[in-house]
């Protein structure tokens, strides 16, 4: 089984989103702490400053919410 097949199987069969959501709820203090918020702002500002005038394809994990700020 190749990587694509493994990831598809894991996501389709192993409830990846539900598991991730449970961890985010259980450890919300980590995801909402000042250090996390600050690092996310640094990352978002860096991306925003480097894509001005360019087309962006937002892929990866998550809902694509960073692309809203671009």
Secondary structure of 34-63 as H, E, C letters: HHHHHHHHHHHHHHHHHCCCCCCCCCCCCC
CA nearest neighbour of 13 among 24, 1, 27, 31:
1
What is residue 21's DSSP assignment? Answer: H
Distance from the first to the final alpha carbon of the chain: 37
pTM passes above 0.75: no
pLDDT digit of tens for each residue in the chain (70 aa)?
A: 899 888 777 776 677 778 888 988 999 998 899 999 999 899 889 988 998 888 888 777 677 777 777 7
């Amino acid at each position: 089984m190749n990587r694509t097949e493994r990831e598809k199987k894991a996501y389709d069969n192993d409830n990846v989103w539900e598991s991730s959501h449970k961890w985010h709820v259980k450890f919300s203090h980590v995801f909402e702490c000042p250090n996390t918020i600050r690092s996310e702002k640094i990352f978002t500002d860096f991306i925003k400053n480097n894509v001005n005038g360019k087309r962006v394809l937002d892929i990866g994990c998550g809902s694509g919410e960073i692309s809203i700020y671009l």
